[in-house]
Amino acid sequence: MLETLQANIVAGRLMIPPIEDWAKVYSIAEELSAQYTMQGGHRSFDVLHVATALHLKSGCFMTFDIRQAALAKAAGLKVRP
């Protein structure tokens, strides 16, 4: 699995962008958590992943996690698969 991951990075199919403003990501995560966690039961890393995608202005959010997908959709992200 790690070899496949590395091959995808090398081939340009997967990009790992640097986060220059973690304070902003945490601020977005706090807002998401306050707005959605009580009713959705979202885990902290799920909230951080969605907050990071929002911060990076991602065009698409990919997840197989139902609760994470619900949070991403509620936050306005296009979710796949």
Peptide bond connecting 18 to the previous residue in cis, omega within 30 degrees of 0: no
pLDDT per position as a tens digit, 20-43: 999 999 999 999 999 999 999 999
What number is the average pLDDT over the span 15-19?
93
Q: Is residue 11 over pLDDT 90?
A: yes
Band (59; pLDDT cuts 50, 70, 90): confident
Which residue shows structure tokens 């081939």? 11
